Amino acid sequence: MSQSGLPPLTGAVRDLAHEVVSALRGGGHLAGSTALADDELGLAAVRVLGADVLLPATLAGYSLSPERVAAFRTATLAFPAAPGAAPVTAWSHWGMRRALRTLSGPDEDPALPDTGEPGASWLHSLPWQRFTHQLAVLGALALPGLPSEVATTAALRPVDLARGFVRAVRRRDWLQAAGAARWLALLDGVPDTLGLDTGLDFVLLMSDDDPRVALQAHAARHIRDERLLDEGLRA
């Protein structure tokens, strides 16, 4: 699928997001079969979506081809987070390295050593509006079983994130709304009155099938469904 009239990188990111969504929704059959474009544009698109490129495997447990994982590794190496980079850039890169380690096993990759978490102190003092914005940008870190200081901080402020979701919907910032919803799907303590399930459908409907929004929204729904299933099994 090509997106006419869009800047090339935007189009490439949308194509890649569309492919991830199809894999998530279609049982994973596409996930491992399509090669990642390893030209400059393709690698840059991978860097924009970050760890979410591997979502069919990291969230849904589908297997990916070694070529795909290798191309992801190439993108991770090609766009490191510069020293002094913005926290969201550093965390996004941390998420990519972390996803690679999850898929390639416990052996250390000498080119991508484990440098630890970048630190999340910048989040603590942010008002709920900015807090939600930053968390939504880091939606790729909202995964069950992926502990991080960002996730720990998010878990302390579910009402603030819920407020940020409402604000994003009111402002028609569907990408931010979907990113916030993905964290909310993961957290305890979200007010029931938020209406997250219908909210997710509303965001999908209103965003005109923007693949980047759909990626976050479908990830959110996947996380939520698994949680509900777990709770149902425990009950």
Partner 1 sequence: MTSTRLIHGVGLRALEWLHARRDGFRLEPDADPEVGLMDRFKPIGELAVICGVIFREGVAGSRQSQLARQLLDHVWRDTLDGGRMLVEGARTEPISPIPFEVYLPFRELGYEQPDIERATRLNHRLGSWSAVEVLPVRRLGLSAFQRRFGLRPEPGVDEATARTWLARTPEPWTVEGHIAYDITHTVFHLTDWGERPDRLPPHIAGYLADWLPVWLDDWLELRRWDLLGELLVVDACLPRPTFDEAAWEGFAAAQQPDGAMPALREMPEGEPDDLFDLVYHPTLVAAFASALALSRSLSALTPEPS
By the criterion CB under 8 A, which residues form the site for partner 1? 128-129, 159, 162-163, 165-167, 169-171, 191, 193-195, 198-199, 202
Nearer Cβ to partner 1, position 29 or 171?
171
Give least dist CB 135 to partner 1, A.
Answer: 16
Give least dist CB 204 to partner 1, A.
Answer: 14
Give least dist CB 221 to partner 1, A.
Answer: 17
Which residues, 6+ apart, have CB-to-CB distance to 129 below 8 Å?
A: 164, 167
One-character DSSP codes across 104-126: H-SS--TTS--------HHHHT-
Please tell me the distance from the alpha carbon of residue 103 to that of residue 20, in angstroms, as a whole number: 17
Nearer Cβ to partner 1, position 179 or 199?
199
Alpha helices in 59-127 (DSSP H): 66-78, 87-104, 121-124
Give least dist CB 202 to partner 1, A.
Answer: 7
Give least dist CB 178 to partner 1, A.
Answer: 13
Residue 91 sits at the vertex; the CA angle it makes with 87 and 92, to the nearest 5 degrees, is 115
Please tell me the distance from the alpha carbon of residue 61 to that of residue 162, in angstroms, as a whole number: 28
Nearer Cβ to partner 1, position 87 or 199?
199
The count of residues in the chain is 235
CB 125 within 8 A of CB 134: no
Please tell me the distance from the alpha carbon of residue 120 to that of residue 173, in angstroms, as a whole number: 24
Nearer Cβ to partner 1, position 26 or 191?
191
38-74 burial by CB neighbour count: b if 16+ within 10 A, else e?
Answer: eeeebbbbbbbbbbbbbbbbbbbebebeeebbebbbe
Nearer Cβ to partner 1, position 119 or 189?
189
Nearer Cβ to partner 1, position 120 or 220?
220
Give least dist CB 199 to partner 1, A.
Answer: 6
